[in-house]
Amino acid sequence: MLFALCWGAVPAAGTDYFVAQNGNDAWSGTLAAPNAAKSDGPFASVDRARAVVREQRKSKPQEPVTIQLRGSVYDLAHPLALGTEDSGTREAPVVWRNFQDERVTLTGGRTLSGFQLVTDNGTLQRLPAAARGKVQEVDLKAAGLTDFGEVAADGKQAELFFNAQPMTLARWPNEGFIRIAQVTGGKPITVHGIQGDALGKFTIAEDRFPQWSQEKDLRVCGYWFWDWSDERQKVKTLDPRTRTIELESPPHHYGYRTGQRFYVFNALSELDSPGEWYLDRQQAKLYFWPPTAMGDGAALSILPTVISLKNAAWITVRGMVIEHTRGTAITIDGGEEVRIAGCLIRNVGSWGVTIQGGRRHGVVGCDILQTGEGGVSLSGGDRPTLTAAGHFADNNHIHHYARLIRTYRPAVGLTGVGNRAAHNVIHDAPHTAILNSGNDHIIEFNEIHHVCQETGDVGAFYMGRDWSMRGNIVRYNYFHDLSGPGLHGAMAVYLDDAASGTTIFGNVFYRAARAAFIGGGRDNIVDNNVFVDCKPSVHVDARGVNWMSATVAPGGFMHQQLAAMPYQHPPWSTRYPELVRLPQETPAAPRGNIVRRNISTVGVWLALEPAAQAGVTFEKNLVDQDPSFVDAPRLNFQLRPESAAWTLGFQKIPIEKIGLVQDEWRTRLKP
């Protein structure tokens, strides 16, 4: 693993400081008191520990430093900000960690207490009958809380968490969606032959307008035109006579379409089931129907983040629980060699970890779940020079993410040049698992399943609309149990809208919908993969010569993207020689695609658009024959020695290495 290669020579000697809830910032930060009077011992706060470490880094920069937190919940008044002055070196790194195996939680929230059953008659009348006598309230102003953020504002809204789970802002319907009966905005639009309306005004069949009439800030969230684009919006007016909803400007950028899905939320009148809540911002009162006995398990998110690292180097944060932020749990901006290792990151309003710029940062051995947006974002490297950043997300379990913003918030996002996602297990999400943008990224040894569950025209792995994004490798992954509702369903590896120059090698696809999908692109390789019960295993089309023609025409978007890169000069011209001649060829047509040495059984082998056939080379594929799997009923898709695939040059796939790995950071494989 890259982490071990970079950090393996780190010496163990150095200085240790300790933090504990019963400590004292006037003490020296030692583990235990030297005498019964406790005249010395650990610090009480992470701020004091950070200040002492900064001083030590000035006087003894050659010494490694470890800050160990004793087991407890630490409610932070502000984010722990680490920068250049807090940094270590290769020989003397800085580590922030839990003490031994004690459970340490850093929270950006505030625990709420003082809940009482709602007794005010006016409030009771607004609540659904089933909720009366069940809903409790707390006065936030009395608790000293006045900043509630913004409703449905990305990364800025306060959320309620209870017993380590995010609660639901009161909504209707409680699950799923209702449908637009008819768009009535009066500004018709047609996109790809589908009719809609550009204004946010429409009718619904259901009549819940009487209870909504008293709502102060009613919101809606929907897939307004496409099944892959969601947005939350504010209701402007309600017309109970015609059952019409009109939304505030600006409208959704794709418009609205009859039959599309949405739900209504932020409504006290819809607080009708356990786990739902509502915040009256004018009265500073929070209403909540607890799913179990109230206790002290409720927390409101306050801080934008828990830990921010800017231009930091050789710092590790390990073994902690990070939770209850309105925005991203941990942000890394610039610097080098920062590690987030063995942490549990959960219940946050935006991302688990975002990395922007810098070199060789990594998120390793973490469990990341219940994020409002994505899991890990890796962004770095310089595309004009094709300089790799070397960031990585390795051995993480990422699941139940994108619960607020449902689309284009992946478990792992890769942007720039030369980043890596490996050995992650990713599942239970509405949209994509891995979103790829840029060059020379590696996606390997991941297990991805039960994603794309709420959206259509979506890929578990997705990239598209740029000929210059090349050199990406998707290898040795296990994609299984994928399907998608709505228009066009789901794909496993989706090379959308002329995505090119990608290698799909040595993967196993089992019940993975449309598994390897080449959407009009060039120079893609689908090699040495196993496809079982996919429909189809391989898809190749020629969209550039039909409905996508304007995008790939001279002067169009694709040519603009290409011209933004120095593709006619080294290192581009030597690394991607196909790009140099692309404008002089027929760029709209798919060319140079290779499909070879694949195994396809059950399901459907191929969906090939006739116009794409000339641009694809098929060779040595084992199709609709018994491939002699070791034990297919038990999903062991290794090949027996007598398999006919070996005679075609098929190479062994290291299936046993796919998924999570037990190591220093991940001491057990099951969460």
At 310 the pLDDT is: 98
Please indicate, yes or no, whether residues 624 and 643 belong to a single structural domain of this protein.
yes
Helix/strand/coil for 84: helix
How many C-beta neighbours within 10 Å does residue 55 have? 10
**Average pLDDT value for the chain:** 94
Look at residue 438 in the predicted model and tell me its pLDDT: 98
pLDDT of 551-590, one tens digit each? 999 999 999 999 999 999 999 999 999 999 999 889 999 9
Q: What is the DSSP string of 405-421?
A: S-SS--SEEEEEES-EE
* pLDDT at residue 3, rounded to an integer: 41
Q: Is residue 453 in a domain?
A: no
Same domain, 211 and 286: no
The pLDDT score that the predictor gives to residue 486 is: 67
Using alpha carbons, list the distances in angstroms from residue 115 to 102, 128, 529, 532.
30, 19, 57, 54
Burial 383-414 (b: 16+ CB within 10 A, else e): beebebbbbbbbbbbbbebbbbbbbbbbbbbb
Same domain membership, residue 616 and residue 511: yes
Residue 365 inside a domain? The answer is no
| Together in a domain, 279 and 261 | no
Q: Is the pLDDT of residue 17 over 50?
A: yes
The DSSP line for 236-294 is: EEEETTTTEEEEPSSPPTT-B-TT-EEEEES-GGG--STTEEEEETTTTEEEE--SS--
The structure tokens listed for 17 are 């400081």
Degrees, nearest 5: CA angle 468-472-473? 160
pLDDT (0 to 100) of residue 52: 97
Per-residue pLDDT tens for 338-378? 999 999 999 999 999 999 999 999 999 999 999 999 999 99
The per-residue pLDDT for range 87-97, each reduced to its tens digit, is 999 999 999 99
Indicate the range of 155-159, 477-481, 505-509 predicted with least confidence.
155-159
Tell me the sheet residues that pair with 504. 474, 526
The answer to whether position 186 is within a domain reads yes
pLDDT grade for 38, boundaries at 50, 70 and 90: low
604: in domain: yes
Domain that holds residue 204: 178-269
3-state secondary structure 202-241: EECCCCCHHHHCCCCCCEEEEECCCCCCEEEEEEEEEECC
Number of domains in the chain: 3
Cβ(422)–Cβ(397) below 8 Å: no
Domain end call among 259, 279, 299? 299
Arithmetic mean of pLDDT, 59-70 = 95
Determine which of 301-305, 435-439, 665-669 has the lowest per-residue pLDDT on average. Answer: 665-669
The answer to whether 181 and 204 have CB atoms below 8 angstroms apart is yes
Model confidence at 36, pLDDT cuts 50, 70, 90, reads very low
**Pick from 22-26, 152-156, 496-500, 649-653: least confident:** 152-156
DSSP string, 553-566: STTSHHHHHHHTS-
Residues 184 and 161 in one domain: no
Same domain, 127 and 263: no
pLDDT at 191 over 90: no
Q: State the pLDDT confidence band at 31, using cuts at 50, 70 and 90.
A: confident
Q: What pLDDT does residue 152 have? A: 84
Q: Report helix, strand or coil for 402.
A: coil
> In this structure, is residue 68 part of a structural domain?
no
Lowest mean pLDDT among 32-41, 480-489, 494-503, 517-526: 32-41
pLDDT for residue 39: 77
Instruction: Report the distance separating Cα 643 and Cα 629, nearest Å.
Output: 8
Q: Write the pLDDT tens digit of every residue in 491-503.
A: 999 999 999 999 9
Query: pLDDT-derived band of residue 488, with 50, 70 and 90 as boundaries?
Result: confident
The answer to whether 432 and 454 have CB atoms below 8 angstroms apart is no
Separation between Cα atoms, residue 149 and residue 157, nearest integer Å: 5
| pLDDT score recorded for residue 484 | 81
pTM of structure? 0.96
pLDDT at 670: 56
Does residue 382 contact residue 359 with C-beta atoms inside 8 Å?
A: no
**3-class DSSP state of 206:** coil
Chain Cα centroid distance, residue 502: 22
Do 166 and 253 share a domain, yes or no? no
Domain boundary among 269, 289, 313: 269
Is residue 7 predicted with pLDDT exceeding 70? no
Look at residue 669 in the predicted model and tell me its pLDDT: 65
Let me know if residue 47 belongs to a domain.
no
Give the separation between CA 429 and CA 411, rounded to whole angstroms.
9
* Residue at 139 is within a domain: yes
Sign of CA dihedral 28, 33, 38, 44: positive
Q: Is a pLDDT exceeding 50 seen at residue 9? A: no
Give yes or no: residues 276 and 202 share one domain.
Answer: no
Does 616 share its domain with 484?
yes
Domain boundary among 219, 254, 269: 269
For the segment 323-348, the average pLDDT, to the nearest whole number, is: 98
Tokens of 235: 């209701």
DSSP reduced 3-state for 611: helix
3-state secondary structure of 182: strand
Q: What is the mean pLDDT of residues 414-440?
A: 98
Predicted local confidence at residue 2, as pLDDT: 39
Of how many residues is the chain composed?
671
Is the per-residue pLDDT at 602 higher than 50?
Answer: yes
What residues contact 463, with CB distance under 8 A and at least 6 apart? 435, 436, 437, 469, 472, 494, 495, 496, 499, 502
Which residues lie below 8 Å from residue 143, measured CB to CB, with a gap of 6+?
A: 110, 112, 113, 114
Q: What percent of the chain clears pLDDT 90, i.e. is strictly above it?
A: 91
Question: Do 212 and 146 belong to one domain?
Answer: no
Mean pLDDT for the stretch of residues 266-277? 98
Same structural domain for residues 113 and 203? no
- Please report the pLDDT score of residue 144 as a whole number: 93
- Same domain? For 546 and 635 the reply is yes
pLDDT score of 6: 42
- Judge whether 631 lies within some domain: yes
- CA–CA gap between residue 500 and residue 590 (Å, rounded): 9
299 has a pLDDT exceeding 70: yes
For residue 84, pLDDT over 80 is answered with yes
* Residues 319/342, Cβ–Cβ less than 8 Å: yes
What is the arithmetic mean of pLDDT over 70-75? 96
Nearest residue to 110 via CA among 66, 62, 149: 149
584 SS3 class:
helix
Mean pLDDT of 295-320: 96
Average pLDDT on 309-328 reads 98
**Once rounded to an integer, what is the mean pLDDT over residues 407-417?**
98
The DSSP result for 445-480, as a single string, is S-EEES-S-S-SSEEEEEEES-TT----EEES-EEE
Contact residues for 668 (Cβ-Cβ < 8 A; gap 6+): 662
Q: Read off the tokens for 418.
A: 């030369």
Mean pLDDT check: name the lowest of 12-26, 51-65, 411-425: 12-26
Give me the mean pLDDT over the 599-619 stretch: 97
